[in-house]
Amino acid sequence: MSLVGVQALTSFPAQLAKMDSRATTATVKADLEEDVGTLKLRAQTAFGVGNGRLVDSSGTVLGVNLTITDARLQDGDSLTLHISSVQIQASSSAFAAVPGDGSVVTWGDPDLGGGSSTVQAHLDNVQQIQANDAAFAAVLGDGSVVTWGNAIYGGDRNAVQGQLKNVQQIQASEGAFAAVLVDGSVVTWGFASQGGDSSAVQDQLKTVQRIQAVRDGSFAAILGDGSVVTWGLARRGGDSRSVQNQLKNVQHIQASCSAFAAILGDGSVVTWGDTRHGGSSSDVQDQLKNVEQVQASTGAFAAILSDGSVVTWGDAARGGDSSAVKHQLKKVQQIQASGRAFAAVLGDGSVASWGHGDHGGDSSAVQDQLHNVQQIQASYYAFAAILGDGSVVTWGNALYGGDSNAAQDELKNVQQIQASKGAFAAIRGDGSVVTWGDSGCGGCSNAVQDQLKTVQQIQASACAFAAILSDGSVVTWGNGYYGGDSSCAQDRLFGYGCSVASG
């Protein structure tokens, strides 16, 4: 029998508040042949908290499958139980949650990332997760990577497993992944034609700083010298040879569904990719000076200049033509994009919108209500603006969140809004949630409404929501096939005193 002293350390305010009235140190017993996971569970029970990670005095995270003997724990050793907030990432049809212990819990469509049983034993000490449409990739504490989901879309990394070491970050297109290693090189896998095969440019991928991806299948990497390397579908931005000599001192890259726009150090912009979707800015090139930021819809771009004016290009039906509101686009503070439209918040707190009317490009019906706007959120089809008094104004396709009349009496003291493809979820100041839009996309949360209290943040898949509460528990709702039903994860998501609800 071994007696181990454990100290609790949490970054989760609600758990810290609970623990303030209890001891934050405890002595936990364990047999030498018992595993660390059992010791951890006893520590969690002693402190009355959810899942955490046991860390030894040297800062090493102890694997839960190790025996007490193999972990080299002895009588009187001191450990720390690190408890942190839950992280959630979503693919189009599934969710992956990282509880405080660094494991992973998944739910949703099992073929598109909602099932991780085949790799569960390897998902330990997870630091970050990235998702594409049908697969997930998790970076572990040792810099290795574990993947699951659709094999073709990157759920199978076996072909490159030996190269996935010291990974710093991962970026995703619709069907592929690109990992940046600590030495600045890049490893790719997944659907070859969507950027999963970077062999043609592998010798150029050195000193990579950041990677951007277009959804439809290509990547663009900014190198340490400010140049750019691209790969993937040539017609969707994977081939930048026509503008390669212009891609110097690149500061930032933005992407539509099939084109890229790079902001250079002098404030000019270089574009490439599908010309129909913003890959050519030749018609407005002389106006693209002193650009501070660029926003993108699925097929167009909007650039905010240093004087607060806006320049747009790309598919007119997706927001590439802003001529109808050009006179309003002055002192623009921020721009948000739906699938085929843009909405700009002006310096006086009003809003100008343009693009496809059925995607929120026409806000005339609510223009007199759009005053003192603080921020805007967008679904694929609609916009929702939070005003200074905490109320909300919506416009766009009525069926997909553009009409919030049924919920308007509840939309008060709203702090933040999240959107799925066709619905919205608003977090109020008291931590409750108000939803509206297509019920098949999470627009109705009635089944779990009494559980939606002290909500801290919300994540969304295409047609479902997952809310993280202050105690670290999770509540989900929406289309079950898209992760709206998390009942299968209830036993694993949290280790003590927490639960999962779905509706």
Q: In what order do the strands lie in the sheet with 228-232?
A: 208-214, 218-223, 228-232
393, β-bridge pairs: 385
> Can you say whether the dihedral through the CA atoms of 235, 129, 342, 407 is positive or negative?
positive
Quote the tokens at residue 346.
């002006």
CA geometry: angle at 66 spanning 64 and 70, to 5°?
Answer: 150
* pLDDT for position 243: 97
| Dist CA 124 CA 36 (whole Å) | 13
> What is this structure's pTM?
0.84
- Ramachandran bin of 38, using left for φ above 0, alpha for ψ from -120 to 50, beta for the remaining angles: alpha
| Dist CA 400 CA 394 (whole Å) | 11
Cβ(483)–Cβ(107) below 8 Å: yes
Q: Which residues contact 218 (CB under 8 A, 6 or more apart)?
A: 173, 194, 195, 230, 231, 232, 233, 234, 236, 237, 238, 258, 260, 273
Instruction: Encode 374-401: b = buried (16+ Cβ within 10 Å), e = exposed.
Output: bbbbbbbbbbbbbbeeeebbbbbbebbb
Kindly give the pairing relationship between strand 94-98 and strand 105-108. Answer: antiparallel
Total residue count of the chain as it appears in this document: 503
Cβ(503)–Cβ(445) below 8 Å: yes
417, β-bridge pairs: 426
Kindly give the pairing relationship between strand 176-181 and strand 186-190. Answer: antiparallel
Question: For residues 135, 140, 144 and 148, what is the CA-based torsion angle, rounded to 10 degrees?
Answer: -20
| Dist CA 92 CA 70 (whole Å) | 40
418-453 pLDDT, tens digit each: 999 999 999 999 999 999 999 999 999 999 999 999
* pLDDT for position 85: 67
Q: How would you class 70 by CB atoms within 10 Å of its CB: exposed for 0-12, middle for 13-18, buried for 19 or more?
A: middle
Quote the tokens at residue 188.
């790719």
Nearest to 87 by CA among 35, 37, 24, 136: 136
Mapping DSSP to helix (H, G, I), strand (E, B) and coil, where does residue 75 land? coil
* pLDDT for position 50: 60
pLDDT tens for the chain, residues 1 to 503: 455 555 544 444 444 344 344 446 767 777 777 787 787 777 777 766 666 767 777 777 777 778 878 878 777 777 777 666 688 999 999 999 998 778 899 999 999 999 999 999 999 889 999 999 999 999 999 999 999 999 999 999 999 999 999 999 999 999 999 999 999 999 999 999 999 999 999 999 999 999 999 988 899 999 999 999 999 999 999 999 999 999 999 999 999 999 999 999 999 999 999 999 999 999 999 999 999 999 999 999 999 999 999 999 999 999 999 999 999 999 999 999 999 999 999 999 999 999 999 999 999 999 999 999 999 999 999 999 999 999 999 999 999 999 999 999 999 999 999 999 999 999 999 999 999 999 999 999 999 999 999 999 999 999 999 999 887 789 999 999 999 999 888 666 654 333 334 45
Cβ(495)–Cβ(37) below 8 Å: no
95, β-bridge pairs: 90, 107
